[in-house]
Structure 1
Amino acid sequence: MNDRAAYRVDRDSLPTHYPTHLHDDYFWECLGRAVATFGFLEGTLVKAIFAITATTTYREDEIAGAYQRWIPKVERSLSDQLNALIDTYAKALKDNTDTRLGHADQLLEDLRKSAKIRNVLCHGSWNQPDKSKASLPFYVDRKGEKFETAIDVQFLQRLQSHVSELICSVIDSVTLMGWQFPSTGGPGEVIWRKK
């Protein structure tokens, strides 16, 4: 055993809202809205995967096998994270010959770029803001690349708006084929009715 003195954090002396006390409430609100919008994007991708895969046309001799693969694919998408959802969505778009989304490649590229930012927002350690109230979150991805962009309220607001646009494009990928986007009650032919 060593002779060094032992210490504990003086919890009673910590600032209110520690460790988030260095940023103002509006920053955290904008961050929360951006993260929540990414959560909504994930739910939208799950529904789009269901819709696009459920409406893919198969030859008569392919139907039984396709159905056997479809159920696990839809079930897996319920728990997949954003990057896996984007991959499954991309394959669904490619496999469905009725897809009418003219900018699918650009949408997929934008989805993949946004997923990188989402990981920073959700997993970064938020450093003290600078004079302009921007914070450089500490985040290193699996490739060892360190995130180097300071984030402020305006960045978060633009990001939230951009992800909202991505959500609309994912919905369009279903509705442009004439199908109702699942669980919306919007226009288009209903894909699946509860009995």
Structure 2
Amino acid sequence: MAGIGAAPETHFTLPADFAAGLGQCVASFGWLEEIIKRTIYALDRARLADDLTSEELQAWLARMGSLADDSLGTLIEQLDAAMRRHPGLRDRNKITDRLGEIRLYRNLLCHASWRPTERKTHWHPAFVSAKGEVRPVPMALDDLERIRAQTVETGGRVLRVMRATGEPGCWAGDDEA
């Protein structure tokens, strides 16, 4: 297995600005997951027949409810499939490709331990992917901001898909005051 730096017994505290930037990235990933779930709901809801039986509606609602536990990779696959079933949507491939890139950053940023580098402004994410890949390049606050901005921009694209359905994209808690 590839080495990822210092002994695992060593814990390093991130500088406050870097930790805040990392937290903002992680928060944007959570927001993106919610937007994807809402968009899947809206795309599927727009296609439902008006004459569903109670059992058919309950089965569909149960399927929508199961989205809450899905991983980002599964959500991306489901969103792509839902967009394929909805005619007239543009940028499906661009959205899906960008979401795939964001998923890789999400895995890295959410699961890495962080090691200092010789440059005080750069930190190395110690993480080995499922494919055995190690990120060789340290990251700086600018990298985190770029990833967060890309995530928010892509979320905006997904929101435009949701709005194109004419459905509001309801989700858990929407009916609570």
Which TM-score applies when normalising by structure 1? 0.74
Alignment map for 1:28-107 (pairs within 5 Å): 28-56=19-47, 67=57, 70-97=60-87, 100-107=88-95
Q: For 1:126 and 1:132, locate their aligned partners in 2 and report how far apart those are by CA, in whole Å.
A: 13
1:110 maps to which of 98, 101, 108: 98
User: Secondary structure of 1:55's partner?
Assistant: helix
The answer to which structure has the higher helix fraction is: 2
Q: Once structures 1 and 2 are overlaid, which stretch shifts more, 122-131 or 174-183?
A: 174-183
User: Secondary structure of 1:137's partner?
Assistant: strand
User: Does the aligned pair in 2 maintain the 1:101–1:172 contact within 8 Å?
Assistant: no
User: Secondary structure of 1:135's partner?
Assistant: strand
Q: For 2:24 and 2:15, locate their aligned partners in 1 and report how far apart those are by CA, in whole Å.
A: 15
In structure 2, stretches of 5+ residues that fail to align are 1-8
Q: 1:175 to 1:127 in 2, by over 3 A?
A: same
Asked whether 1:19 is paired with 2:4, we answer no
Q: For 2:152 and 2:138, locate their aligned partners in 1 and report how far apart those are by CA, in whole Å.
A: 22
Q: Which has the higher contact order (CA 8 A, sep 6+)?
A: 2
Which TM-score applies when normalising by structure 2? 0.81
1:130, CA displacement in angstroms? 2.9
The answer to which structure has the higher strand fraction is: 2
In structure 1, stretches of 5+ residues that fail to align are 1-8, 10-17, 184-191
Q: Deviations over 1:1-52 (max 9, x none)?
A: xxxxxxxx9xxxxxxxx9342x310000000000010011011111111111
Cα RMSD, aligned residues only: 2.6
User: Does the aligned pair in 1 maintain the 2:39–2:169 contact within 8 Å?
Assistant: yes
Question: Match for residue 149 of structure 1?
Answer: 137
Question: Match for residue 4 of structure 1?
Answer: none
Identity %: 22
Question: Match for residue 160 of structure 1?
Answer: 148
1:73, CA displacement in angstroms? 2.5
Q: 1:166 to 1:140 in 2, by over 3 A?
A: same
User: Does the aligned pair in 1 maintain the 2:76–2:100 contact within 8 Å?
Assistant: yes
Q: Once structures 1 and 2 are overlaid, which stretch shifts more, 151-160 or 124-133?
A: 124-133
Q: Report which of the two structures shows the higher radius of gyration computed on alpha carbons.
A: 1
Q: For 1:34 and 1:129, locate their aligned partners in 2 and report how far apart those are by CA, in whole Å.
A: 21
Q: For 1:119 and 1:91, locate their aligned partners in 2 and report how far apart those are by CA, in whole Å.
A: 22
Whichever residue aligns with residue 126 of structure 1, its letter is W
> Between Structure 1 and Structure 2, how many residues are aligned?
165
